[in-house]
Chain A
Amino acid sequence: MSDHITEESNFSETKEKEKEKEKQKEQDEAEDEELRKLLLSDVQNLPSTPPSAVESNFAIYFALDFMKPRHDQYVYRHANGLCVIGLAPSHVAFKDEGGITAIDFNVGKSDRSGVKVTGKRKKNAQHFESNTALCKVSTKNDSYIVRCCVKGSLLEVNQQLIKQPELLNASADREGYIAIIMPKPADWLKIKASLVSFEEYKKLREVS
């Protein structure tokens, strides 16, 4: 008789637990629904091609005919002051057959790819002028010097290029960037005057 009673009370206990589990599950599902609605709340009117990360986060400038005709380079400047330097699509090196085949950071007095910059204060960073050589890119028959364009501290060069110089041909404007430079605010203002905007660049070089 007593066994029967404990069995019954056990049974009603598990029923209670099941009800609670059901309730919890419903609550969780309701919360998930709420969350999904929030996640998708701004999903109307998506553009077919959104702006790229570079377009959204950097101000894009170009240095045309830098020290030599058709030596065009880009300068992407972030709101925090850092400048990414690279080859513009209209650079003369891309006109050579086969494009760029090699890159060498050992120019001027040091190998730019060897310097280790450390710490928040960017110790050991070399200070360069805007016409200091950054590297040399070579094509089948020729080679061209790439320069800093911006006076400042050299924080890093793109090491990937040493192993994969073809990045320069495929995406010079992104993964094929050459270096990152940190100019002082006063030095930036001085050089900015000689750079052109993206719009002006498109007009001057007749690029679409």
Chain B
Amino acid sequence: MVRQDGYQFDSFSLEVSIPPLILQNEASLWSYMQSKYGSEPWFREKIHTGCVSIKDALKFSLINPLEKLLDCKSSLCPFRIRLTYTHTKASEGVAKCSDNGGSCKRRKTGESDSIGEGTLSSSVEDESFDFSKLFPKSENEPCNFSYNCSRTPFYFGGRYLKYSRNVSQTRWIIDDERMGEASVEEIIGIKVLQACGGDNYKFHAAGREDIDVRMLGPGRPFILEVQNTRLVPTEQFANDIEKMINKEENKLVRVNNLKLVGSDGWNLMREGEGEKQKQYAALVWTSRPLKDEDFQQVSSLKDLKVAQRTPIRVLHRRSPLEREKIIHWMKMETVAGSSQYFLLHLCTQAGTYIKEFVHGDLGRTHPSIGSILGCRAEILQLDVTDIKMECFLT
């Protein structure tokens, strides 16, 4: 079965699950021995040196033949093989446990087997329950057996660039209709998923940009989690996928520095996410022609404090608050020889709404470019030009 699914692996980790009835029998046997021989020195000695439980004994006996069959060693590794033994006869002990109100804390929805195991093992610890009262039941029916295997998730980290103003960051569907022509997470995720034969992916990015805003410069850090891959990804694999994504005809998205990351990748990305500065370039129009003094006035403002009430365009799903944000610096340059259009470069605190800082959101963002220059200002297009974070830069 392992070959059927096409799993690539060089070692495996074995997990075994056995029916509650066997555990119950084991527990009652132990209880009985404890009560009968508890005072005997040889018994106490045995307890100290440790005894092998039924489950472990089963595991030991299975591991060697499995190793021979699969032609590799067993060890703690991402590839897991799970053998599940179930029995149709529900455990009598379970019913008794719940009657006694034993500590049945580990209830999980779904598999009834784990409920059985959970309540049983926690009751075994609850010594007040006397298992010797339950006689071991002899069973003539064999167990049912099922198996499955899976791999723990792999994580890819990197930076993405978005060249299109019609591509959202994540899949965006309203009333069964897709917004935009594609999404960054699908473009990257589907390629990676297909290449390493995974079941599904999860896309996590350090912040986001609107669908009509391009992501340029070094790109935005992201982590792609892939579950249950059939192949084992390597560094070379990550390089190949990166090249494949960047070769796409329509050049909507680009990926840089794609590589495998461990748990430290998460810390790198989440650390200081709210403090990191972002840099933008906005194409702005003003209702009056601008002069040199205007340019100088804007450039002279350093660490400008801006009070932003929740923008109307997100007010339906965010709390109505006033948030103070900082514009660290600004620089303007003329474009196309016009005196009313210019490119505004600015560096801001994470979480600043740039569009609203330009047009003022009906006065709910103050100050705004318009209020600073004493005229009306509109934003025509916005690009993110830098995300000042340390991670995934190589």
Residues of A within 8 A of B (CB): 35, 38-40, 42-44, 46, 49-54, 57, 78, 80-82, 84, 117-120, 122, 155-156, 158, 160, 167, 174-175, 177, 180, 182
Residues of B within 8 A of A (CB): 163, 214, 216-217, 281, 283, 285, 312-320, 335-336, 338, 341, 343, 355, 359-363, 376, 378-381, 383, 385
CB < 8 Å neighbour of A46 from B341, B359, B361: B341
Minimum Cβ distance to chain A for residue B41 (Å): 67
Q: Is the CB of B315 within 8 A of A35?
A: no
CB < 8 Å neighbour of B362 from A50, A80, A119, A177: A177
Q: Is the CB of A40 within 8 A of B214?
A: no
Rounded to whole angstroms, the CA-CA distance of A160 and B318 in the bound complex is 21
**CB closest chain-A residue, reference B356:** A53
- What residues on B are CB-neighbors of A80 within 8 Å? 313-317
Give the 7 A-B residue pairs with the shortest CB-CB distance, closest first: A175-B363, A53-B359, A80-B316, A39-B281, A50-B285, A177-B362, A43-B336
Q: Is the CB of A38 within 8 A of B214?
A: yes
Give 15 CB contacts A-B under 8 Å: A35-B216, A39-B383, A39-B385, A42-B283, A51-B378, A54-B362, A80-B317, A117-B320, A118-B320, A119-B319, A120-B317, A155-B320, A160-B363, A177-B362, A177-B363
- What residues on B are CB-neighbors of A78 within 8 Å? 312-313, 316
**CB closest chain-A residue, reference B287:** A49
Q: Is the CB of A52 within 8 A of B378?
A: yes
Rounded to whole angstroms, the CA-CA distance of A54 and B379 in the bound complex is 12
Chain A, interface SS category: loop
- What residues on A are CB-neighbors of B363 within 8 Å? 158, 160, 167, 174-175, 177
Rounded to whole angstroms, the CA-CA distance of A52 and B335 in the bound complex is 19
- What residues on A are CB-neighbors of B355 within 8 Å? 53
Q: Is the CB of B320 within 8 A of A35?
A: no
Rounded to whole angstroms, the CA-CA distance of A119 and B315 in the bound complex is 10
Q: Is the CB of B335 within 8 A of A40?
A: yes
- What residues on B are CB-neighbors of A117 within 8 Å? 320
Q: Is the CB of A38 within 8 A of B320?
A: no
- What residues on B are CB-neighbors of A174 within 8 Å? 360, 362-363, 376
CB < 8 Å neighbour of A84 from B281, B319, B362: B362
CB < 8 Å neighbour of A82 from B163, B316, B335, B359: B316
Q: Tell which of A42, A117, A120, A175 has the most Cβ of chain B within 10 Å.
A: A175
Q: Is the CB of B319 within 8 A of A118?
A: yes
Rounded to whole angstroms, the CA-CA distance of A81 and B214 in the bound complex is 26
CB < 8 Å neighbour of A182 from B316, B318, B381: B316
CB < 8 Å neighbour of A35 from B217, B283, B336, B380: B217
- What residues on B are CB-neighbors of A156 within 8 Å? 320
Minimum Cβ distance to chain A for residue B114 (Å): 35
CB < 8 Å neighbour of A42 from B312, B316, B318, B381: B381
Q: Tell which of B313, B362, B363 has the most Cβ of chain A within 10 Å.
A: B362
**CB closest chain-A residue, reference B335:** A43
Minimum Cβ distance to chain A for residue B288 (Å): 12
Minimum Cβ distance to chain A for residue B319 (Å): 5
Rounded to whole angstroms, the CA-CA distance of A81 and B216 in the bound complex is 32
**CB closest chain-B residue, reference A174:** B362
Rounded to whole angstroms, the CA-CA distance of A177 and B217 in the bound complex is 38
CB < 8 Å neighbour of A175 from B316, B319, B360: B360
Given known contacts A39-B383, A175-B362, A177-B362, is B312 in contact with A81 (CB within 8 Å)? no
